[in-house]
Amino acid sequence: MHDFLCPKCNGHIRVGSHIIFKVKNDKKQEALLLLSPQIGNYTSLKHPSFEIQAGEYLEYYCPVCNSELISDIHRNLAHVILRDETGKCSDVYFSQIVGEHSTFETDGESVHVTGEDAGRYTYFKIGDKFRKYF
Ligand SMILES: [Zn+2]
């Protein structure tokens, strides 16, 4: 089973078949948002009282340590760590914009891109270099 970890505290944010985030919407309302650990599956679960709209910017937070998960690549992308069964870690970046489907997974060498909106982020930083792809 793949684990998902917070890059700040290394806390486990995958529990069972969901990755758990605390999010804040445009109205500064806070709630829990559950995403699929399957990359490319953009279904999400939330309580119906928490309203979000397509195109809205959500701030993602670690539910364990409360750190903001915004990446240093782009303010629209959140950053989490994926650890596979062998203990190998890669960085996963995904869009914080509601309804925008773009996910990037990188082991520092290559970037695996998923989602039909991924072309919006054509410069990708790996290590300390910027690499263009597409
Ligand atoms: Zn954390």
Question: How far does the centroid of ligand 1 lie from the alpha carbon of residue 38, in Å?
Answer: 20
Q: Does the pLDDT of residue 124 top 70, yes or no?
A: no
Q: How many CB atoms lie under 10 A from the CB of residue 38?
A: 11
Show the CA angle centred on residue 84, arms to residues 81 and 89, nearest 5°. 40
CB-based contacts of 32, cutoff 8 Å, min separation 6:
20, 21, 22, 23, 46, 47, 63
- 112: confidence class by pLDDT, cuts 50, 70, 90: confident
Is residue 133 over pLDDT 50?
A: no
Tell me the average pLDDT across 90-105.
94
Distance 8 CA to ligand 1 centre (A): 5
pLDDT bucket at 127, cuts 50 / 70 / 90: low
- Quote the tokens at residue 90: 């890669």
Average pLDDT over residues 48-71: 96
Looking at the DSSP bridge assignments, the partners of residue 15 are 18
Q: Which long-range contacts (CB under 8 A, 24 or more apart) does 106-114 make?
A: 112/39, 114/39, 114/40
The pLDDT value given to residue 108: 79
The CA 49 to ligand 1 mean position distance, Å, reads 25
Comparing CA positions, the residue from 69, 74, 87, 85 lying closest to residue 118 is: 74
Q: If you average pLDDT over every residue of the chain, what do you get?
A: 90
Tens digit of each residue's pLDDT (9 = 90 or more) over 2-44: 999 999 999 999 999 999 999 999 999 999 999 999 999 999 9
pLDDT of residue 59: 98
Neighbours of ion ligand 1 (CB under 5 A): 6, 8-9, 11, 62, 64-65, 67
3-state helix vs strand vs coil in the chain, percent to 5? 0, 45, 55
Ligand 1 geometric centre to CA of 53 (Å): 26
pTM: 0.90
As a whole number, mean pLDDT of residues 95-119 equals 90
Distance, in Å, from the CA atom of 24 to the CA atom of 108, rounded to the nearest integer, reads 30
